[in-house]
Amino acid sequence: MTKLLSLILVGCSFGFAQSWPQWGQNPQHSGQVSVVGQRAGEQLAEITYDPLVPKEQADDGGELLAHYQAPLTDGNDLFMEFKAGTWVACNSGASPCGADAWNSEIWGEKRYQWQHGKLVEQWSFQSDWKPEPSAGGLGGWEPVFHAALAGNYVYVPGAAGSVYKLNRGDGSVAQHVQPFSGSGGAANNVFVAGPLVADSAGNIYYNAIGLNLNGSPWSTDVAGAWLVKVTPNDHSTMATFTALTAGAPGAGSGCLGTFSSSQLPWPPSPDAVPPSGPCGSQRPGINIAPAIGQDGTIYTISRAHFSSRYAYLIAANPDLSPKWSASLRDRLNDGCGSSILPANGQPGGCRNGARAGVEPSTNQLPAGQVIDQSSSSPVVAPDGSILYGSYTDYNYQRGHLFHFSPSGTFLNAFDFGWDVTPAVYAHDGTYSVIVKDNHYDTGSYCFVVQFCPTAPEGPYYITQLSSDLAPEWKFQSTNNLSCSSNSNGTVSCVSDHPGGFEWCINAPAVDSAGKVYANSEDGHLYVITQGGALESSLFLNLAIGAAYTPLSLGPDGKIYTQNDGKLFVVGKPDVRKR
């Protein structure tokens, strides 16, 4: 093992190796623990943390458009978000309703403890945090409420860009850190935008966004955007995204848009230029968890408020001063003329004669998009390089996984990145990268069937990549049965998914042996060994239309997975008395 990898593994063992205290398990978000995970043997516990799911799905045609916290584990403890309050159904005649009435709901955190083989609730804390408003910007996708563990405290998002520091033992408030309290009434327009993240010294980092709530917050420029740091002694500092993205187009600069659907097939001509409009200020993508490198560098993701195609990977020094920023534009060249987008004028392809490599909708080299419906967050690999899963809509909405060097140089990309924080498996002096790899039943680059016929569903893979993003192995979803549990304990199934099921995951987990843990839309938890073989699986709950969700591993190897607003614990019963 190289010296670098040895240092990283030692560093990760400082408070992070066995517990799962935050998004992606550790400050680098590698999703790997130093214990051997258990088999998918039997269901040990089930907790409903979002009882509003049936009403949410009823208002969204059966889809669950929500982002949820990763289950946080440490010792015998489990920490998980919960939701309460009221979902205002749109068929009730009320206005606002549905996603436009999120403020009627309540978010908070609960602590559970394993006692005699059962999870027993210890305390419950109700936060005043509310998500950013959906109308005109988020399309009904509920932002994530996500806590972090650090030492003897649980840090929980609060209103007005604040953070509650809770005593781990009893859930009492040790401190209410309010970085924006000096802003007067304007602080009420500030939102904690994404998970809280803790480094090995106990510092907390998060993104915050200030929205103009008097009009439409998504068609009016932001009031501000910040990367925030809270120290263990409750001192807060912040840096603006404008300062962290020097060189990015300014708020009033022109950003290129996309061609009109009346001009299909795209691009309209080899020299066509799409219309442009104001970029808006740089601000964080919603749901992004900053990552912290072993040297203390903080990484986060920025985008222009009015244009998801003008986005940046940001690197900041530990004091939040700018280090560098790297654009996600002009890095790719796999658009028109590629195997998936032939420039022949045929349905599914680009207009005949299109320039090689361009994105059809812009006629520019493709841009990695940062969209607010995603939860992709940066990951720091063992060699210090950075991975980020972007959205791209010209490759059947599969996105691209971007890979940058520690100095911000673009290295390479893999043709899948949509809504995934990859896991990193450190082994044998190198590392591998694990992603979901779904092929969606959608049009190639547009939604007009005449020009972009819908592809068949699947195949759906969990794919492991080498450190240079070359595929090492794939595990395909081949189950075609939709199953449901009956009251008598039996399971009934019907064959209705010939292409398999989506991997319903946004952050996989990997154990010390390289076993990969992933949940599927078919309702099963899967445990996959190195080489891509199935070790075990367990049916829990059919998850058709469910949200992409993270999972985690406990210090004893138990598996904490979720779908449809329910948390499931899987493994083998613990017969020891506690």
Q: What is the pLDDT of residues 286-315, one digit of tens each?
A: 999 999 999 999 999 999 999 999 999 999
Backbone angles phi, psi at 297, to 5 degrees: -65, 135
11 pLDDT higher than 50: no
Backbone angles phi, psi at 101, to 5 degrees: -120, 30
Quick one: pLDDT at residue 543? 85
488 pLDDT higher than 90: no
Torsion of CA 437, 79, 384, 379, to 10 degrees: 30
Write out the H or E segment, with its range, that includes residue 309.
strand 307-316
Quick one: pLDDT at residue 485? 82
pLDDT digits (tens, 9 = 90+) for 159-206: 999 999 999 999 999 999 999 998 776 788 999 999 999 999 999 999
94 pLDDT higher than 90: yes
Quick one: pLDDT at residue 18? 84
With tokens 């408020």, the residue in question is 305
* Residues paired with 463 in a beta bridge: 435, 474
Q: Residues 67-76: what's their mean pLDDT?
A: 97
pLDDT cut 90: percent of the chain above it: 91
- In angstroms, the CA 140 to CA 57 distance is 11
Domain architecture of the chain: domains with CATH:
3-571 (2.130.10.10)
Q: Residues 534-557: what's their mean pLDDT?
A: 94
Quick one: pLDDT at residue 8? 38
pLDDT digits (tens, 9 = 90+) for 431-481: 999 999 999 999 999 999 999 999 999 999 999 999 999 999 999 999 999
Quick one: pLDDT at residue 15? 53
Band (9; pLDDT cuts 50, 70, 90): very low
5 pLDDT higher than 60: no
Quick one: pLDDT at residue 2? 38
Band (578; pLDDT cuts 50, 70, 90): very low
The residues, any chain, with a CB within 8 Å of residue 144's CB and separated by 6 or more, are 67, 68, 69, 194, 195, 287, 375
Q: Are 57 and 2 in contact, with CB atoms under 8 Å apart?
A: no
Quick one: pLDDT at residue 109? 98
**CA angle, 503 as apex, 499 and 504 as ends, to 5°?**
125
